[in-house]
Structures are given as structure tokens and as C-alpha cells.
Structure 1
Amino acid sequence: MRMNEGVEWAVHSCLNLAWLGEERAVPTAKLAAFYELPAAYLNKQLQALARAGIVTSTSGPRGGFRLARPPEKITLMDVVAAIEGPDEAFRCTEIRHRGGSGTDSRSETPCAIHTSMRKAELAWRRELAAQSIADIAATVDDHSPAAAERVRRWFGDTRT
């Protein structure tokens, strides 16, 4: 399964916002500059996250984005669905009923290919739904303990 790069950008943005805490809004330009991303395109991803209730947006000189709920309550599936949409990855068009396939044109039997693809997709979705932004933060902390502090310093957050 291939996801667009906006998913990666959105997850990284959520992770950074989690490290920065709920009390601080971060402008799109600042989030984009951290990874050298185009701000306009990142803003589209952040707006999708806002529509999904993952982040909130505040306008004005101290405006920007912050997480709308605790990182423990935001799953990777939430982020993927916000960016990619809720549609199934595989869409069965029932080609088995066309041309010379030899099957009954009104078969009551579910398509075995669709059933297999759906089963795989549900497993993928369950795995993403089982991992939160907090889980990702904990994994990063295990492998790179200084990462959260580097983010806080870069964004001008001096707390430790």
C-alpha cells in the first residue's frame, strides 16, 4: 500500500506538537521550516488534521496549530484517515462477471480476491489504530533520547 507523503508530514508534525505540549500553538511556517518542507503543502495536511479533530488552529500573531487531544488519544489510523480519506484501499469492480470469465453473471458468492484484500486491509488498519502518537514518541525516546529536547530547543521552547 502506498500513502502520499502528506501522511509522513502529518505524523511528524503531530509528534513535534506532542513534544511541545498543549499550551503552545506553532505556525505552519515554523513546522515546515523544521523539515524544510513547502509551507503551503504542509498547511493543507494540517487543515485536513484540523477537519478531523486531530489538531486545532488558532489565528493571529500567536496563532498556529496544536494537538486537539492528548497524544495517547490520536492513533496513526486517525492521521492516515485524515490525510488519505476513509475509503478502502482496494475497490472491487466485479470484473469476474465480465467477458469470457465463465462465471455466473449474478453470483451470490463473494469475490475471493475482494475478501482477501479486505482482510489484509483490516489487519493493516487495526495495526495503525493500535499505535498512538504517544507510542511513537516513546519509541523515538527509546532510540534517540535527545530528539524531543532538540525539537523543543529548535522551536524555542526552553522547558526541560
Structure 2
Amino acid sequence: MKYSKATNYALHTMLFLAVATPNKLVSVHQLAEWQKVSPTYLSKILTKLVKEGMIDSSSGANGGYSLKSNWEDISFLDIIHAIEGKSSLFDCCLNEEPECLIKQTMLSAEEKMEDELKSQKLVELAKKIKVDI
């Protein structure tokens, strides 16, 4: 199982914004430089996070991105769903078989993983990082 690089960048971006102080505007160039990724590529990721209501964007010379006021409630799973969508990781090749034991096992494992990711809040990780940005 592997999440996309976009999810990796989204999780790191959200953490960076949380540590940078939630109300501070951070430019896409700062975020891209910090992660050594193209600003154009990162902009696409940021657009998804804006659409999901996790961050605000402000355009103009002093524009940038900042976390929404409810950012303390954002979990890892919320960020992952914003980028990857909410589809199951497992597709059973026997779709006509509702009692597929393999599908039941895989979905049960996926639910446990999602519960763990849902319990991991961005704010808790941000509290562990002591950096001046």
C-alpha cells in the first residue's frame, strides 16, 4: 500500500502551516522551497486543501495560505481524503460475490487503519515541533 507523493506533500504542508502559526500567510514559494518541489505542482495540492475547507488562500503581492480557524480538528485522515479521495484501497475482483471473505478482511483492516489516522490530529504533531519559521 502506498499513498501518492501529493499526500506526502499535503501532510507536510499542513504541518508546516500549523507550526508557522495558523494565522500567518505563507506563500506557495516558501512551501515549495521548504519541500523542494515545484510551486506549480504544490499549487494543485493546495487547491484541493482549499476546496476541502482546510486552508484559506489570499491572492496578491502579500498573499499566501493559512489554516482555517477549525484547524485543530483536522486529522491525518482528513488530509489524506482531501488528496486521495474516499474510495476503498481494495477492489475485489469478484464484485458479484457479496460474501467475499477476502474483501471483508481487507475492509476490516482498512477501517482499523482509518480509525488510527482519524485519531491522529495535526495539532498534536505541531505541538511536538519546536522551530522558528
TM-score (norm: length of structure 2): 0.91
SS at match of 2:25: coil
The one-letter code of the counterpart of 1:36 is K
Q: Kindly indicate whether structure 1 or structure 2 has the higher relative contact order, using CA contacts under 8 Å at least 6 residues apart.
A: 2
The answer on 1:6 being equivalent to 2:36 is no
Is the 8 Å Cα contact of residues 71 and 132 (structure 1) preserved in structure 2? no
| Alpha-carbon distance between aligned partners in 2 of 1:27 and 1:94, rounded to the nearest angstrom | 47
Q: Once the 2 structures are TM-superposed, how far is the Cα of residue 16 of structure 1 from its aligned partner?
A: 1.1
The CA RMSD measured in Å over matched residues stands at: 1.7
Q: Once the 2 structures are TM-superposed, how far is the Cα of residue 134 of structure 1 from its aligned partner?
A: 1.1
What residue ranges of structure 2 are gaps of 5+ in the alignment? none
Equivalent in the alignment of 2:88: 88
Equivalent in the alignment of 1:50: 50
SS at match of 1:56: strand
Is the 8 Å Cα contact of residues 23 and 67 (structure 2) preserved in structure 1? no
Equivalent in the alignment of 1:116: 105
Percent identity, aligned pairs only, is 29
Q: Once the 2 structures are TM-superposed, how far is the Cα of residue 94 of structure 1 from its aligned partner?
A: 1.2
SS at match of 2:87: coil
The answer on 1:138 being equivalent to 2:117 is no
Who wins on radius of gyration, i.e. which is larger? Answer: 1
Q: Once the 2 structures are TM-superposed, how far is the Cα of residue 70 of structure 1 from its aligned partner?
A: 4.1
The one-letter code of the counterpart of 2:119 is A
The answer on 1:126 being equivalent to 2:115 is yes
| Alpha-carbon distance between aligned partners in 2 of 1:27 and 1:4, rounded to the nearest angstrom | 23
Within 5 A, what are the aligned runs for 1:42-81? 42-81=42-81
Q: Once the 2 structures are TM-superposed, how far is the Cα of residue 135 of structure 1 from its aligned partner?
A: 1.6
| Residue deviations 1:51-103 (CA, integer Å, cap 9, x gap) | 111111111111111111344211000000001111111112316x6xxxxxx
| Alpha-carbon distance between aligned partners in 2 of 1:9 and 1:75, rounded to the nearest angstrom | 15
TM-score (norm: length of structure 1): 0.77
| Alpha-carbon distance between aligned partners in 2 of 1:69 and 1:54, rounded to the nearest angstrom | 9
What residue ranges of structure 1 are gaps of 5+ in the alignment? 98-106, 153-160
